[in-house]
Structure 1
Amino acid sequence: MSKDWLHSEPPKRASPIWRAIEQSKKIINKGACFSIGNGSSIDIWTDPWVPWIEGFIPTPKVEEYTQLPIRVSHLINSNRHCWKQNLVKELFNPHSVQAILTIPIPTRPSLDKLIWIPYPKGNFLVKSAYHSARSHLPSLSPCEISWNKIWNLNLPKRLRILLWRIGVNVLPTKQNLLNRLQVSDAFCLFCKDNIESSSHLFFNCPASRSFWFSVYWGLKTENLAISQPEDIIKLCLNPPNVPCEAINKDQVLLRLVFTIGEFWLARNRDLHQNCSWDVSSSIRMVLTRCFEFSTIIAPRTDHALPIPVHVWSPPPFDCIKINIDAATYETQAAIAVVARDHRGVPLKVWARLIKMISLLQAETEALHWAVKLAKVEGWSKVIFEGDAKICFDAINSHNQSYQWCIQTQLLNIIDLAVCFSSCSFVWISRNCNGVAHQVARFSLISRLAFVFLLDNLPPALLALCKAAYPICSSFIQ
């Protein structure tokens, strides 16, 4: 097999199975993109390597440039680990230039590799490819069911699956079996007069109507106009009103769905076990199960714990704590770094503007910048804090299964962290990160990059530092 499978033609004597596999190239090409290691194996004109643009291949500034045999490695300054910006601007149009310059360059070059863009961690999954292929197809069903709402209902899992089977019409009712297996008897088990469809079985059969009237506060199902499986799901998402206003919506939904579930169980017992339906027993079963489940999910208020107050705390003696954050607006982002000592005194505050791809990437870039600044300052013991949970959790994990969009930045951060004698990365809540957040916002609004020392820190930022840790006021003149 050719090493460049995506761009190669199938063998003339390929088997039918292999030819079927070859058809998947159309789908894979829509999501496969190179992650830059050293750039030596990536052709800038034919290979996909810029994840921020459609098709992943940049547009040349002049069409004739596509005849030049150039690799991505030719665009990288290997000594400084950055792009050769003048060369990039010479070769590509402005939109492509902007996208290319936002790709981080690894400080430790490695082999280039293909990643799957639709999946956050870059791994190719059949499930992800399926959803990617489906996203390009027109809707095949007029059904307007919000399945996320169904799966998020506070119900037992088996009942949520039952609702899904009803909604997509795969429940083995006699009508469905007749359409698929040509069964001899497709009439309703209870009334014997109509074909057993989901809508008839659960709501239109005389037996189910009487059951609903008995168990669901006198509900008359003939007034509901249930004719399609989707109507049943929509009814569950918007249950009918009940006479007693004291009954909350959760109890109404539980009674509704447990009634559907019990009726299906009674039907199966009668069909497969020759057990005649005991209506009184089913009513007691619905009420009992509703009560038991309500007891399980009911919130406990007798031992409620007080909500903790989160505040910024200083680092240990001879250690520097560095907080980072990012603020974004449209295509622009500002990143901020705030360094304070064990007294809570701000030593230095940095902020600058960057081109924003996503908030997560901006926050990761802020952390990368903070580590580089700490190295330049010569600090040996540092604690890095921020409220970007995904970023900090990824750094502290040991499996290195990072999201592809921040993987290079995270690996660069880990490489730099070995320069310190003591270094830790701590996720904190937004309440503890207020100073860094306000510095980033100030930079974004003013469109300014700046560096402040304690002596020239603006009064507004100084007040924020004092508010975050009031004790530091005694150390600041």
Structure 2
Amino acid sequence: MPWFGQLKGVVFSVKIGYKSLCEDPQARESDSESAEVHRSMWKDVWRLNVLVKIKHFLWKSCTNLLPTKENLLKKTIISENVCHLCSEHLEDVIHAMWGCTKVRQVWQRSFGWLDHNLIAEGSFPNLVRLVQTKPSVFPLFAVMAWAVWHHCLRQRLPLARSVVGAIKWRPPSENVVKINFDGALFRELDCAGLGVVICNSEGLVLVALSEKIMKPQTAELVEILAARRAVLFSIETGFHNSVFEGDSTSSCSFSNVGRQDNAVAHALAQRARLSVPLKDWTLACRYAEDTEDVIDVSGLMTYLLVCSSSSKST
């Protein structure tokens, strides 16, 4: 609607333009029917007797907010938008959930009364409106659509999951020790903990450290202090031919691994909450005296878990 400055001396604003549109009889007449249909659709969606996450999923589907390949390509996250299931069509919302030849059989039994090919050329909101004409099957449709979409994601992401989980703790090469370190912040106690564990090429624990310190200002500083303590600990214990490994991506340039692959150092840092006195360098030695076993990473982890649970129970 063009602005011709009907009101002299009034500067155009979004508010004035909105009011002008609302007062325009022609605009109200053209929009009233579609707006009513839209409101009716959303009322039925939010009244569904399904999990809230499925209602949110329908909302995202109808507003094209799902991470389909079409949307990911628009954001330059991926380089192609072809459906990875059928390799025949671009993956938008209606194709991923309904039009793909690999998912048609899922819908055939309960929704065979819908014209599959015609709907595949339309939009997902139009499909929702058609299903809403039979309220008894609308909850089933919502759950099935959610399951189909997550199946699509699982088929698309196995490679990404394997890459993320590919880094695992590995023993160092011969004549080298690996030093894992981590830090933990205990805000409620106004202190922090540092954990360091040194292992040889066979994965056996040589010595470990759990130390409580005064609380630094940030979590990043805790990780930096843990890295510094690991270097000092290697000098104090005489292990000079060392590689260092931690799970912080922002504190330093040592080798980075996931939290699960730095579990022993993390558990030592957490155990510092219970350390009295502040330093506990004899942890590994006490474990050996108690069990008379060779100390390895898994054994030390078990010991730490037992110590933690017994301390909580007392």
TM-score by length of 1: 0.35
- Give the alignment of 1:56-67 within 5 angstroms: none
Tell whether the 8 Å contact from 2:264 to 2:301 is kept in structure 1 after alignment: no
1:339 matched residue in structure 2? 198
Residue type of the partner of 2:242? V
- Give the alignment of 1:218-237 within 5 angstroms: 218-219=37-38
What is the count of residue pairs matched by the alignment?
Answer: 205
CA-CA distance at 1:381 after TM superposition: 2.8
**Equivalent-residue separation in structure 2 for 1:431 and 1:376 (angstroms):** 27
For residue 180 of structure 2, the aligned residue among 311, 323, 329 is 323
Residue type of the partner of 1:312? W
- Give the alignment of 1:263-412 within 5 angstroms: 300-305=153-158, 307-308=161-162, 309=165, 311-330=168-187, 331-356=190-215, 357-392=217-252, 395=253
CA-CA distance at 1:288 after TM superposition: 6.5
2:272 matched residue in structure 1? 443
CA-CA distance at 1:432 after TM superposition: 0.6
For residue 433 of structure 1, the aligned residue among 255, 262, 280 is 262
Gap change, CA 1:457 and 1:209, over 3 Å in 2 = farther
Residue type of the partner of 1:321? K
Residue type of the partner of 1:450? D
For residue 298 of structure 2, the aligned residue among 457, 460, 466 is 466
Tell whether the 8 Å contact from 1:174 to 1:187 is kept in structure 2 after alignment: no
**Equivalent-residue separation in structure 2 for 1:173 and 1:316 (angstroms):** 75
- Give the alignment of 1:92-103 within 5 angstroms: none
CA-CA distance at 1:457 after TM superposition: 3.1
**Equivalent-residue separation in structure 1 for 2:179 and 2:13 (angstroms):** 72
Gap change, CA 1:346 and 1:200, over 3 Å in 2 = farther
CA deviation profile, 1:421-455 (whole Å, cap 9, x unmatched)? xxxx1111110111111111112123442102744
Gap change, CA 1:249 and 1:289, over 3 Å in 2 = closer
1:4 matched residue in structure 2? none
Gap change, CA 1:251 and 1:453, over 3 Å in 2 = closer
- Give the alignment of 1:160-179 within 5 angstroms: none
- Structure 1: 5+ residue stretches without partners: 1-171, 189-194, 222-238, 256-286, 292-296, 396-424, 471-477
**Equivalent-residue separation in structure 2 for 1:212 and 1:206 (angstroms):** 10
CA-CA distance at 1:199 after TM superposition: 6.0
- Give the alignment of 1:79-158 within 5 angstroms: none
CA-CA distance at 1:318 after TM superposition: 1.4
Tell whether the 8 Å contact from 1:337 to 1:436 is kept in structure 2 after alignment: yes
CA-CA distance at 1:207 after TM superposition: 4.8
Q: Which has the higher helix share?
A: 2
**Equivalent-residue separation in structure 1 for 2:225 and 2:10 (angstroms):** 62
CA-CA distance at 1:354 after TM superposition: 1.1
Name the structure, 1 or 2, with higher relative contact order (CA <8 Å, separation 6+). Answer: 2
CA deviation profile, 1:33-54 (whole Å, cap 9, x unmatched)? xxxxxxxxxxxxxxxxxxxxxx
- Structure 2: 5+ residue stretches without partners: 49-54, 66-121, 127-148, 303-314
1:32 matched residue in structure 2? none
The share of aligned pairs that are identical, in percent, is: 18
CA deviation profile, 1:212-256 (whole Å, cap 9, x unmatched)? 5555571369xxxxxxxxxxxxxxxxx95356968801134449x
**Equivalent-residue separation in structure 1 for 2:35 and 2:294 (angstroms):** 63
